[in-house]
Structure formats: C-alpha cells, structure tokens
Amino acid sequence: MKRILAALAASAVLAVPGAALAQDKVKACFVYVGPKTDGGWTEAHDKGRLFVEEQLGDKVETAFVENVAEGPDAQRAIERFARADCDIVFTTSFGFMDATLAVAKRFPDVKFEHATGYKTAENMATYNSRFYEGRYIQGVIAGHMSEKGEAGYVASFPIPEVVMGINAFMLGAQSVNPDFKLKVVWANTWHDAAREADAAKALIDQGVDIITQHTDSTAPVQVAAERGIKAFGQASDMIAFGPETQLTAIVDTWGAYYVKRIQAVIDGTWEPGAIWEGLKEGILTMAPYTNMPDDVKATAEETEAKIKSGELHPFTGPVNRQDGTPWLAEGEVADDATLLGMNFYVEGIDDKLPN
C-alpha cells in the first residue's frame, strides 16, 4: 500500500494513515526485550503475535526483533521498524518507554503501543494487563490450600507492578484466612533459573507450604514439584513442570488484545490512550484449576467470575498499610494511579520492602 502510494506520489512521504486502503495488509511489528523462547514474558508476547497471524490471516503481516537492549539500541530498533513501513509498532518492555516516545514524535503517521508504561502521545498508546486480578485469585486459593497458613513469594524487583501483585495475593489470602502469613524473597532477577530455584528452596526450607512467583522461569514451580509443595505458575501455564502440584497459573494472553488493536488499525478506528485491561477483556486468563478439592476450585471460579463481572475489585477497603495506618476506607476502591505507583505493603506481610 505504502509503496504504491509513494510511487504514485513520487514523493518522500514514508507513511500514510493506516486506514486509507483497508483491503491492503497492515504491518504489525514487535520489539522484544528478551529471546522469544524465554518461556516467560517475551514468549507470551510472541504467542500473541502468532495468534494475530492466525486470527487475521491475510489482512496482516508481522515482524519482530528479539533481545533488544533497553536504551539506545531500543530506539534504533523501533526507528528501523518505523522506517520499514510498519503501521503499528508494539514495544513490550517498560524500559522502551522513552525510546518509543522519541520515535513516535518523529513518525506521526505510524502508531505505537508501549506495554506497561505511562507516557502517551497522539500516536502512542500504552497497554497493560491487570495481573493483580489473577494474583488475588491465587491468594484466595492459597488461603484455602495452605495448611500452615503461610506462603512464599519469589519476587523479582521491588517495582510497583510486583509490589501490587504481592499485595493482591495477600488480600486474597486474608479474605479467607485473616491470619495468613507471606514470606517474600527478592531474587533480584527476572530470569535466572538457578537463582529462582534457590529462592524457592529457601522459602520451602523456612516452612512455607505454597510457592508463588513473580519471576519468569519455570524453576520455582519445578522445585516445588520436587518437594511436593503446591505452586502457582507465572506468565504461561507451567503444568508440565508441576503436573501434580501446580494449582493454577496466570497466563498472559496478549493475543486477544493485539488482534483487537490491529483490527482497529485496519478499520481506521485506532485511538491512543492508557489501556489497562483485565480478566474480563481476556488479556490474562487463568490456567485450569488443578490439584485442589472441588470446593476450593468452585471458590476460585466464583472469585474469577466476580472479578470479571466487576462485582469484586481486589483492592477494596477496608485495607490498612503495613504499619497499620488506614489506606482504603470501608468499601473504597483503590484508583488506578495509586496501584500503578504502589510502593508500600498492605498489613500483615512479613517483609520489609527494600528501599
């Protein structure tokens, strides 16, 4: 489409509005921070890309670059896509934010979508997934399943996203067992299988009987399986690594979102904005509830349904901060801005937040 137009106009205009000729292929491009076979974050996005190809077929063409370092390398990769006739570019790491914005300003006719950030522009949207909804369900399950009433959390880095997840898990567990305890270990990595395994072992040796993780590798699930301890998967269904111990997993299903957004580009209805979707929209799904009694499974499904219908918001008061001061009053629901910048624990967590 673009080439034809460029030839017709014989001008240097590189990009034209994507809606101009709907019957032509739209080119959707993806910039990944890790290898597309990392078994976690990036692989989930790449599955989303493949889902797009499957769903939209002839209407779309996709391309990707993997293992792009944050910083100047990212800006170059994004600009290359903008110059390579991409109609929409998805950049899938928080650290790509400023690079995406810089390129977006220079290529007003290309659309950009940046995952997990907070800066937007005329032609740049941000998108994110309400992972905390899944973590709340996990917490509810843990509250029922843990005999000792104590879970272990293998965490990556103390950024708002992770802190929010820990709090959601805890609130879910407390909704079942008000005395629930949670131990947190910061592995200080997103992806170091051996180190994550060490962290899980340390937690188990300290006596927790349920493991959950906010790091990317399957190691914690695998270690838990070896020790006969129940665990939750992360980013993808990790049942292969714990067939008898995985309770459920938060599965990132970006594909549904990508299809919707690329279809909007085809239809000419694409709008920028800060988009934060959840279980209801299908940007994340729960892996099958396994290895638990039927009543717990029923509770989990019920919780999921309530979150989907909007009847239940995980961060609903009364909730106190870790030091006991009130945060949310009875019935009050946390606003998105506070959640996205969360840097405090809720009451009951047995850890001191670093920094």
Partner 1 sequence: MRIELVKRPQQSVLFSVLSPFIALALTLIAGALLFLLLGKDPVNTLYVFFIEPLRETWSLHELAVKAAPLILIAIGLSVCFLSNNWNIGAEGQFIIGAMAGSILPVMFPDFQSWIVLPLMLLMGIAGGAAYAAVPAVLKVRFNTNEILTSLMLVYVAQLFLDWMVRGPWRNPEGFNFPETRSFHEYAILPEIWSASGRAHWGFIFGLVAALALWFMMTKTLRGFEIKVLGQSPRAGRFAGFSQGRIVFFAFLLSGALAGLAGLSEVSGAIGQLRPVISPGYGFTAIIVAFLGRLNPLGVVAAGLVLALTYLGGEAAQISVGLSDKVVRVFQGMILFFVLAGDTFIHYRIRFVSAPAAAAGEASRANV
Partner 2 sequence: MFEAILITIATAATPLLLASMGELVVERSGVLNLGVEGMMIMGAVTGFGVAAMTGSAWLGVFAAAIVGTLFSLLFGFLTLTLVTNQVATGLSLTLLGLGLSSMIGESFVGRAGVRLGALDIPYLTEIPYIGRLIFGQDPLCYISLLLTAGVSWFLFRTRAGLTLRSVGDNHSSAHALGIPVIRIRYLAVMFGGACAGLAGAYLSLVYVPQWVENMTAGRGWIALALVVFASWRPWRVLAGAYLFGAVTIGQLHAQALGYGIPPQLLSSLPYLATIIVLVLISRNRRLTMMNTPASLGRPFVPDR
Window contacting partner 1 (CB under 8 A); options: 43-51, 157-165, 177-185, 310-318: 157-165
Name the minimum Å distance from CB 241 to partner 2.
5
Q: What SS3 class is residue 25?
A: coil
Partner whose binding site includes residue 70, from partner 2, partner 1, none (CB under 5 to 8 Å by kind): partner 1
Contacts (Cβ under 8 Å, ≥6 apart) of 330: 317, 318
Nearer to partner 1, 33 or 250 (CB): 33
Name the minimum Å distance from CB 36 to partner 1.
8
Owner of token pair 């998805």: 90
Is residue 343 part of the contact set for partner 2 (CB under 8 A)?
A: no
Binding to partner 1, residues 194-253 (CB under 8 A): none
Is residue 83 part of the contact set for partner 1 (CB under 8 A)?
A: yes
Can you give 103-166 as a three-state secondary structure string?
Answer: HHHHCCCCEEEEECCCCCECCEEEEEECHHHHHHHHHHHHHHHCCCCEEEEEECCCCHHHHHHH
Tokens of 302: 């019920």
Q: Compute the distance between CA of residue 245 and CA of residue 220 in angstroms, rounded to an integer.
A: 11
Is residue 228 part of the contact set for partner 2 (CB under 8 A)?
A: no
Name the minimum Å distance from CB 323 to partner 1.
18
Nearer to partner 1, 51 or 344 (CB): 344
Q: Compute the distance between CA of residue 68 and CA of residue 33 in angstroms, rounded to an integer.
A: 5
Owner of token pair 């493991």: 211
Partner whose binding site includes residue 234, from partner 2, partner 1, none (CB under 5 to 8 Å by kind): none
Is residue 201 part of the contact set for partner 2 (CB under 8 A)?
A: yes
Window contacting partner 2 (CB under 8 A); options: 139-147, 201-209, 256-264, 266-274: 201-209
Q: Compute the distance between CA of residue 252 and CA of residue 285 in angstroms, rounded to an integer.
A: 7
Window contacting partner 2 (CB under 8 A); options: 124-132, 180-188, 252-260, 293-301: 180-188
Binding to partner 2, residues 52-71 (CB under 8 A): none
Name the minimum Å distance from CB 341 to partner 2.
20
Tokens of 338: 């506070």
Window contacting partner 1 (CB under 8 A); options: 48-56, 91-99, 171-179, 305-313: 91-99
- Is 48 within 8 Å of 298 (Cβ atoms)? no
Distances (CA, A) of 72 to 78, 121, 337: 10, 20, 28
Window contacting partner 2 (CB under 8 A); options: 85-93, 100-108, 130-138, 215-223: 215-223
Contacts (Cβ under 8 Å, ≥6 apart) of 108: 122, 123
Site for partner 1, rule CB under 8 A: 29, 35, 63-73, 75-77, 79-81, 83-84, 94-95, 98, 118, 157-160, 188, 337, 340-343, 354-355
